[in-house]
Amino acid sequence: MVSPDAIRTVIGVIGNGTALVLFLSPVPTFIQIWKKKTVEQYSAVPYLATLLNCMMWVLYGLPLVHPHSMLVITINGTGMLIELTYVALFLTFSVGAARRRVLLLLVAEVAFVGGVAALVLSLAHTHDRRSMVVGILCVLFGTGMYAAPLSVMKMVIQTKSVEYMPLFLSVASLVNGICWTAYALIKFDLYITVSLLTFHTQ
């Protein structure tokens, strides 16, 4: 009989695959940005929100915080690098105040995660406490990541065009959420579960 841990690992690997598809789904958008040498009306907010979310989940998955979370670290570490690439393209092809805003938000995010890591590792002395503090923050920023695409809804309504809110991105988000919900429920992880329930209610 297959053990729950084995099933969870398989689902986690599938979840990593769907999450990778999700992270890569904006590539066509950035190819257009590269070709046109401008970000047009695209917003950096969803990518900055996803970057912050990935950084927090990498911190959560560290052995010093929440042991045995390698699948969480691998996909979020990969996502972090991908999102950094997107943000770098925004910095390259945006101008003036828009570029400064993206840069300031990026610096603030890195400083925040670094500060959280330093405080948690120095002040919380058990895995449970570290997992609780970082897990709660992951839930909060996960909510921000899933809510960030709503920032383009006004543009979709105004322009009556879904160009700035690709269907593929929405579908990838749904499939990814289902996989990781199953992963979190097999060997119950409160913070992953709550974060994904937040996603399903957006």
Alpha-carbon Rg for the chain, nearest whole angstrom, is 17
Question: Which of the residue ranges 36-50, 128-142, 171-185 would you say has the lowest mean pLDDT?
Answer: 171-185
Q: Are 193 and 36 in contact (CB under 8 A)?
A: no
- Report CA 56 to chain centroid distance, whole Å: 9
Q: Look at residue 31 and tell me whether its pLDDT is greater than 60.
A: yes
What does DSSP assign to residue 148?
A: G
- Residue 52 to residue 68: CA distance in whole angstroms: 22
H-helix or E-strand spanning residue 88: helix 70-93
- Residue 6 to residue 124: CA distance in whole angstroms: 31
- Residue 137 to residue 130: CA distance in whole angstroms: 11
Residue found under tokens 């709660």: 136
**Distances in Å between the alpha carbon of 56 and those of 40, 49, 60, 98?**
29, 11, 6, 25
Residue found under tokens 């769907």: 18
Which tops the pLDDT comparison, 131 or 81? 81
Structurally, the chain folds into a number of domains equal to: 1
How would you class 2 by CB atoms within 10 Å of its CB: exposed for 0-12, middle for 13-18, buried for 19 or more? Answer: exposed
Task: Identify the domain containing residue 195 by its residue range.
Answer: 4-200
Residue found under tokens 């996502």: 79
Task: State residue 60's pLDDT score.
Answer: 92
Structure confidence at residue 11 as a pLDDT band (50, 70, 90): confident
Question: Which of the residue ranges 25-34, 51-60, 179-188 would you say has the lowest mean pLDDT?
Answer: 179-188
Show the tokens assigned to 66.
Answer: 């929440």
How would you class 58 by CB atoms within 10 Å of its CB: exposed for 0-12, middle for 13-18, buried for 19 or more? Answer: buried
What does DSSP assign to residue 126?
A: S
- Residue 115 to residue 89: CA distance in whole angstroms: 26
Mean pLDDT, residues 106-119: 96
Identify the CA nearest to 56 among candidates 35, 80, 40, 74: 80
Task: State residue 59's pLDDT score.
Answer: 95
Most confident segment among 52-56, 141-145, 166-170: 52-56
